[in-house]
Amino acid sequence: MKKILLGISVLFLGSATTAQTTINFDDDTKWTAGAGGSITSYQPDHEYVDGDFSAIGGDGLRQGSADQGGVPGALGTYSWRLRNDAAVVWTATIATGGVSSFSIDARAWDNSPSPDYKIEVSTDLGSTWDSITTIDNSSLSNSLNWTTFNGTVNSPNNDIYVRLVPNGSTERIMIDNFTWSPFGATLDTIATITTADLSVMENIGTVDVTVELNQPAVLDQTVDLVLSSGNAAVLGNYTTQTITFTGGSTSETVTINVTQGQLSSASETFDFILSNPSTDLVLGTDTDFQLTVNQLPTNPSACSEIFFSEYIESSSDKALEIYNPTTSVVDLSNYQIKRYNNGASTPSSTLSLTGLLVPGDVFVISNSSAAPAILAESDLTSSITNFNGNDAIELFNSSTNEPIDIIGEIGIDPGTSWEVGTDSTENLTMIRMSSVSAGNLTWFGGSQAEWDTYGLNEFSYIGSHAGSGCPGPANPVANASGSRSYCVGDTIQLINNSFGGTSPYTANWSVSGVPFSSGDTLSYEATSAATISITLSITDDNSVSDDTTFNVVVRANPSAGFNLSTNSICEGDTSTITSTGPGPGIYTYTYQITPTSGVVNSSGPTGDGYFTSGTAGSYDVTQTLTNSYGCSDTAMHTITVNPLDDASFAALPDICDNEILTLVHPDNSGTWSGTGVTDGGNGMGDFSSTSTGDHYITYTTSGVCSDTFTDTVEVFAAPAANFTFTGSIDVDFTDSSTGTPTSYLWDFGDGNTSTQANPSHSYAADGTYTVCLSVDNAEGCSDSTCQSVTIAGVGINEFSDSDISFYPNPANDELTISSNKPVNVIVYNVIGEQVLNSRVNANQTISVAHLEAGSYFIQFERNGERFTEKLTIE
């Protein structure tokens, strides 16, 4: 049954339009596929726009009408399908007119749904969000049917947002038929049944059914709860009940009486429905309620079956105790314990028991993390004890297919715990009253009154039960516990477990008719395969005797064996295993490697397979062959794993396509290989390539356990240096290199250099100069080129001009410059280095005392003209 939570708390009861608008998403012209892909693939930006309404988001897609899980995928032509992703956000926007109320249809995706979404509303452009309701299994009534979810907004604002977002991990859902009423519309007062369908026992007494309104009614309203099917006599001769909502009430309850002993069958179902609403009341989508009443089960007869005798629930200190009140040894393999979590109607966990339980003894199952006092008395630890106080626990006889005892009530969630006496089943110890002689399949009014309750952490009673409701055997009964099946080499261990009569007992053991030992324990070495007859004779404290004879079977061990294709391999190699054991059938083969390294893969039931090595060393490979009785034998071979040659080498540098990389490896037995690689032998090699990009260079050793190692070298394109020049004295150089150089170095051939891309240079003397250009690119690749440059026209004779003259020449300490106009005077040595630079305005003497004796060039520069003369310093 669908249970819909309604509304934001503010309600608007004024009158205005009642017009509603429904968007059914069936017009394919109003769908726009998202930028990421097809409209039928999951995307976060598919959109549907229809007037003032728009919807966008997901990941979602447009779903057709084809069945999904047996239910149509759309209510019409199309619907939205939202992805099972915690990041899904689907948002509808109503642009104008405000919103009074809205509804949206939704359904789960497939036959194992676990959806978990919430519907939220924002009236302030997404700054805040109000929660409306949740879409999950409960609100979908655990079905795949389409369900309508309603919400109340009552806001006049434009751009009202309604969104669906997951509450974490979720499953896919479909959504369709978005309907809203504009702000100011009259809201219907809607009546719905909010009580979930129930299944109860006939001794329940009463059942309450709640009917709720979505809003307080302006006037008093009534609606009838009618029994539409079922025998009214079972329900205290139920007649139609009229429910009246007065004084602003929004919730009313009808109490239904259940009369015990009136059922005509083991289970009967009763259907109720809301009917005959008053004038201003509208029936909602949830107007039916189904009640199933079940006959009380028949309890086991006294002293005929085992039952629960103790229950401990406290944090991890959890345990169950089972008591045998009968006069016979009970084979526990015929029994199961079933746990039903949180009102589940099917088992959440099942434990199948094993072992024998003698009369008057108990079997204890505990949590593995329980207190030592509990574990000391435990026969078994199991996760079946992961119960809380609100879980039902059932003891079940699988041989008769019948339950025989229960704690709690299956199919009902009591909240945090079950009532028991004046306590509850949470954080307490319960002991079955000593007078109880059988299990009880009814909790309410039944088993819940059969327990003594104790405080938290009471563990002193676990491990025994003082049952007085069932007498034990009057005479002693000889009985031994312990396995009846052994393998050659085992020690037969049997324990006196006699019962009845008056303890203590005197015990004597005979083997194959020969007295062997006395005492409560027999230990006998099984040296050969045989069936051994063993007799236990006992005498109780009243000198009453009994004996029992039984057979113990000692089975032969199988013969393990296998061969290895080789006992010496390299790291990473394999050695084939051929088993010499008995082959397929009732045998299993396992392998162990000592010390642990590598792995054995055994192919099939024959024990054949292969050993894949791990690290180098010596290893024992052991085969264990086990037959169906658990008897086993082992065989072992030692295998040597040799280390691989070390082909690794240091990381290689990247190079340029005009370079050669020299390859050297300390292991000189191997070979270099790869595109562009030349192997030179003795661990030497070269690599070069004009093909740019990544190149793989491999070294392969040639030893017994050869190895390979590969590294990557990236080859970068080198630039191609080139230049042009113009001028005969003052020369302009222009770079014409290719390959995108990023740095330049010019050598002008006269001792001068430059790092400019396009420099100019003035030569001090005529001659032919070798000019070289070196360029580098961003990857560090370089190239260079040289050209001859001839200089002519630089004067070297004694200079005489009507405007400029200098003397003496040769000079010693001083040099006099005569000029009628300012002139720049520059002196160069013979390798082109500038050694003096001075500005002369008219007749002026400049010092040359700092110049060493030798030949120089003196240059005069004025108005863009230059004149050069040879100068001698003595």
Kindly report, residue by residue over 358-398, the tens digit of the pLDDT: 999 999 999 999 999 999 999 999 999 999 999 999 999 99
Least confident range of 118-127, 744-753, 787-796 = 787-796
Of the pLDDT bands very low, low, confident and very high (cuts 50, 70, 90), residue 111 is low
**Identity of the residue numbered 287:** T
Check residue 607 and give its pLDDT: 87
- Angstrom CA distances, 19 to 51, 96, 281, 567, stand at 15, 14, 18, 89
- Reported as a single tens digit per residue, the pLDDT across 618-651 is 999 999 999 888 899 999 999 999 998 899 999 9
Q: Do domains 21-181 and 804-873 have the same CATH topology?
A: no
Q: Which 3 state secondary structure label does DSSP give 91?
A: strand
- Reported as a single tens digit per residue, the pLDDT across 651-685 is 999 999 989 999 999 988 899 999 999 999 999 99
CATH architecture of the domain formed by 804-873: Sandwich (2.60)
CATH T-level fold of 21-181: Jelly Rolls (2.60.120)
Check residue 9 and give its pLDDT: 28
Question: What would the mean pLDDT of 406-426 be, rounded to a whole number?
Answer: 90
pLDDT over 90 for what percent of the chain?
60
> What is the CATH code for 191-294?
2.60.40.2030
Check residue 420 and give its pLDDT: 93
What single DSSP character describes residue 233?
G
- Reported as a single tens digit per residue, the pLDDT across 550-606 is 999 999 999 999 999 999 999 889 999 999 988 666 788 999 999 988 888 886 678
Residue 113 has pLDDT above 80, yes or no: no
CATH T-level fold of 562-642: Immunoglobulin-like (2.60.40)
Check residue 842 and give its pLDDT: 74
- Reported as a single tens digit per residue, the pLDDT across 311-337 is 999 989 999 999 999 998 999 999 999
Question: What would the mean pLDDT of 49-66 be, rounded to a whole number?
Answer: 91
Instruction: Please give the residue that has the higher pLDDT: either 712 or 297.
Output: 712
Check residue 631 and give its pLDDT: 92
Query: Residue 538 forms beta bridges with which residues?
Result: 507, 546
Check residue 407 and give its pLDDT: 96
Domain residue ranges of the chain, discontinuous segments joined by +: 21-181, 191-294, 307-454, 480-524+533-542, 562-642, 655-716, 723-791, 804-873
Residue 796 has pLDDT above 50, yes or no: no
- Reported as a single tens digit per residue, the pLDDT across 276-318 is 999 888 898 789 999 999 888 889 999 999 999 999 999 899 9
pLDDT over 70 for what percent of the chain?
95
Whole-number mean pLDDT of the chain? Answer: 89
Check residue 356 and give its pLDDT: 92
Residue 112 has pLDDT above 70, yes or no: no
Place of tokens 């085969």: 623
Residue 18 has pLDDT above 60, yes or no: no
Query: Residue 837 forms beta bridges with which residues?
Result: 826
Residue 14 has pLDDT above 50, yes or no: no
Write down how long the chain is: 874
Please list, in sequence order, all residues whose beta carbon lies within 8 angstroms of the beta carbon of residue 815, skipping any fewer than 6 positions away.
Answer: 806, 807, 808, 809, 845, 846, 847, 848, 871
What would the 3-class secondary structure string for 653-705 be? CCEECCCCEEEECCCCCCEEECCCEEEEECCEEEECCCCCEEEEEEEECCCCC
Check residue 556 and give its pLDDT: 92
> What is the CATH code for 723-791?
2.60.40.10
> What is the CATH code for 307-454?
2.60.40.1260
Check residue 801 and give its pLDDT: 53
Question: What would the mean pLDDT of 452-468 be, rounded to a whole number?
Answer: 91
Instruction: Please give the residue that has the higher pLDDT: either 311 or 845.
Output: 311
Check residue 603 and give its pLDDT: 60
Least confident range of 16-25, 205-214, 855-864 = 16-25
**Identity of the residue numbered 588:** T
Of the pLDDT bands very low, low, confident and very high (cuts 50, 70, 90), residue 781 is very high
Check residue 832 and give its pLDDT: 79
Check residue 19 and give its pLDDT: 67
Look at strands 708-716 and 655-656 and give their pairing.
Answer: parallel
Candidates 704, 705, 591; CA nearest to 644 is: 705
Of the pLDDT bands very low, low, confident and very high (cuts 50, 70, 90), residue 793 is low
